[in-house]
Amino acid sequence: MGPPVPRRRRGPAAPRAGLGHAVRIIAGSRKGARIFAPRGTDTRPTGDRVREAAFNLIGPGGAEDAKVLDLFAGSGAMGLEALSRGAAHATFVESDRDACRAINRNLDKLGLDDATVLCQDALTALRADARAGTRYDLVLVDPPYRRFSSLQNVLIQHLPEILAPHGLLLVETGSDTDEPDLPPLAKRTSRRYGAARLTLFEPQGP
């Protein structure tokens, strides 16, 4: 894997006030550090319990040295957790400007530079990565629960193209929905945790 790509800021600078919803990094070099999401209901940070469960599903060392994509990143909690656990680089994609400010603030607070923040539509970024032939070792997808069914066809089209041959894809959806399917990716497991469902995918074997 090549050298880490330095963080490039995209979008507005982070303000010092107006952030809430504190959650904590679960493990790794920044364990216990608080991170923040914008106030209001537009951003739903993945809570500590669900995030811990997600990385348990990914497995020990699953983020280490990985090139990570955090799609529909929100506060960036999932990608920040991956960086704390040793990811080589994380790309955060989020269209909400307040959430982009929160991600940049969190990166600054935690002293994490191996990141890129793209303040743009997630599907636009996904299509661009697919056209460019970009591949990720770990892809984290957490769209608004109510939108997943309408996004599923586009995700099916492009997610397999950006996942590295031995990569993993984790999708968070609402627990009251059916298990998602993203063919041709193989489903390793799907489990409920409170209001969330976590589903882990991997490329089909030979």
Complete DSSP assignment for 81-103: HHHHTT-SEEEEE---HHHHHHH
Please spell the DSSP secondary structure of 53-86, one letter per residue: HHHHHH-TTSSTT-EEEEET-TT-HHHHHHHHTT
Any domain includes 110: yes
- pLDDT surpasses 60 at 178: yes
Distance CA 24, CA 141 (A): 19
* Secondary structure E strands in the chain: 19-24, 34-38, 67-71, 89-93, 115-118, 136-141, 163-174, 186-193, 196-202
| 62, pLDDT greater than 50 | yes
Instruction: Give yes or no for residue 27 having a pLDDT over 70.
Output: yes
Q: Of residues 181 and 10, which shows the higher confidence score?
A: 181
Query: Helix, strand, or coil here: 105?
Result: helix
The whole-angstrom distance between residue 39's C-alpha and the CA centroid of its chain comes to 20
Triad 142, 154, 37: Cα angle to 5°: 20
Is 36 a residue whose pLDDT tops 90? no
Could you tell me if residue 4 is inside a domain? no
Task: Look at residue 56 and tell me if it is in a domain.
Answer: yes
Domain of residue 148, residue span: 19-202
C-beta separation of 104 from 76 below 8 A: no
In this structure, what CATH number is given to the domain that contains residue 48?
3.40.50.150
Residue 41 in this model has a pLDDT that exceeds 50: no
Structure confidence at residue 21 as a pLDDT band (50, 70, 90): low
Confidence of residue 206 (pLDDT cuts 50, 70, 90): low
pLDDT of residue 170 exceeding 80, the answer is yes
- If one counts the domains in the chain, the total is 1
Look at residue 148 in the predicted model and tell me its pLDDT.
86
pLDDT at 106: 95
In a domain, 33, yes or no: yes
**Domain-located, residue 109:** yes
**Would the pLDDT of 11 be above 50?**
no
Checking if the pLDDT of 9 tops 80, the result is no
**Domain-embedded: residue 66:** yes
Mind listing the pLDDT tens digit for each residue in 77-123?
Answer: 999 999 999 999 999 999 999 999 999 999 999 999 999 999 999 99
Q: Is residue 13 domain-resident?
A: no
Distance separating alpha carbons of residues 78 and 33, to the nearest angstrom: 14
Mean pLDDT of 148-159: 89
Please indicate, yes or no, if residue 3 is contained in any of the structural domains: no
